[in-house]
Amino acid sequence: MTAAGGASPPDHKGELRVVGTSVTREVELLLERLATSIGKRAPRVLQVGSRALLSDRNERNWRGLVTKRFGDRARFVGIDLLEGANVDSVLDICSSPKQLGAKLGDDPFDLVICCHVLEHTRDPLRAARNIESLLRPGGLAFVATPWSQAFHATPDDYWRFSVRGLMLMFEGLEILSSFYSGGDVGLDVAYRVERDGRPELDSRAGAVEQGLFQVVLDHEDNRAVLARQATERLPVSRTYMPTLFVNVVGRKAIA
């Protein structure tokens, strides 16, 4: 991904700001972008990893959100490795382009949603390339991945990503927005790091981001925290991070 409006992140001179938002609001903005990009045409939307699980209490019903926004004319396709609720086709996003085309057809998508999936794929770079290829020119991708999260093998757990790591993987997309979000059930808070009203994508912002979501305890405080846990915790660190997700919205270039 590149920064919106240029081939590389711009060197802004304005003040770096941390802007509070919510995932709900960012999703609304995403659907507004989609509506603007398609005009009066019915959108075609793909959700990668769409199977509904009882454990996913914090997951959004993307099919419902798209239908609510665009009505029954919207064409929504959900794919997953396994059959289940909300799955239209059993398909691996890491499959070959030929296999994807056989299941999904040749008609490109206006929006591809890939939330909490890439960390479970054996080849996330291939998944990223496939997502890019499935988009029509000007199409949008919404990608959410963990930066800090407990091991969760569904079916396995391989990777963690930063915003700039996703930019390297999705090099064919222009980044329009990025934000951090949490993982607690019922907690809908998110934060954007911006400069001059645009996402700050330069690596120099890393020092600020590093301090936003990390807690370093002294030895006695650390012992007290561990002592309050219901089950045993091993004292391997005095530095803790919350469950933290990185979210990006990218747009495929119009040829």
pLDDT in tens, the chain (255 residues): 666 655 454 554 688 899 999 999 999 999 999 999 999 999 999 999 999 875 555 578 999 999 999 999 999 999 999 999 999 999 999 999 999 999 999 999 999 999 999 999 999 999 999 999 999 999 999 999 999 888 888 889 999 999 999 999 999 999 999 999 987 777 899 999 998 888 988 887 777 777 888 889 999 999 999 999 999 988 899 988 888 999 999 999 987
- Cβ–Cβ < 8 Å for 154, 167: no
CA nearest neighbour of 95 among 75, 77, 80, 113: 80
Chain position carrying tokens 């915790």: 233
Report the distance separating Cα 29 and Cα 214, nearest Å. Answer: 28
- Match domain 18-189+242-252 to its CATH number in 3.40.50.150, 3.40.50.10860, 3.40.50.2300, 3.40.50.9100: 3.40.50.150
Report the distance separating Cα 127 and Cα 9, nearest Å. Answer: 24
Amino acid, single-letter form, for residue 6:
G
CA nearest neighbour of 34 among 107, 110, 136, 134: 110
